[in-house]
Amino acid sequence: MFVLPPTITHQNALKIRQEGLSALSKVADERVVSGSELTQFDSTALSVLMAFVRAYPDLKIIEAPKKLVSLSKVYGLETLIPISSSIE
């Protein structure tokens, strides 16, 4: 499992994308990304998640903040980014 950091913005998105793809590549079974620690983000977080989904179509994203789920709906990405559960 890869846990997203507390903050994702345009300033750190590339680094997080690289770290996440590297971590997910080492997982042999179910690939999961947790948003449990994510508190500050902008739409750049969606681009990071899309990169993960492109690389691993079977990816599951859990514990995403409700605001991130809402943002994915605003951008019409809710069917492309598999956010399966959310937290406050």
Q: pLDDT digits over 9-29, tens only?
A: 999 999 999 999 999 999 988
Query: Helix, strand, coil % (nearest 5) of the chain?
Result: 40, 20, 40
What the chain holds in terms of domains, given with CATH numbers, is 2-87 (3.30.750.24)
Question: What is the pTM assigned to this prediction?
Answer: 0.91
Closest CA to 87 of 59, 68, 71: 68
Residues of the chain where predicted confidence (pLDDT) is lower than 70:
84-88
- How far from the centroid of its chain's Cα atoms is residue 67's Cα? 13
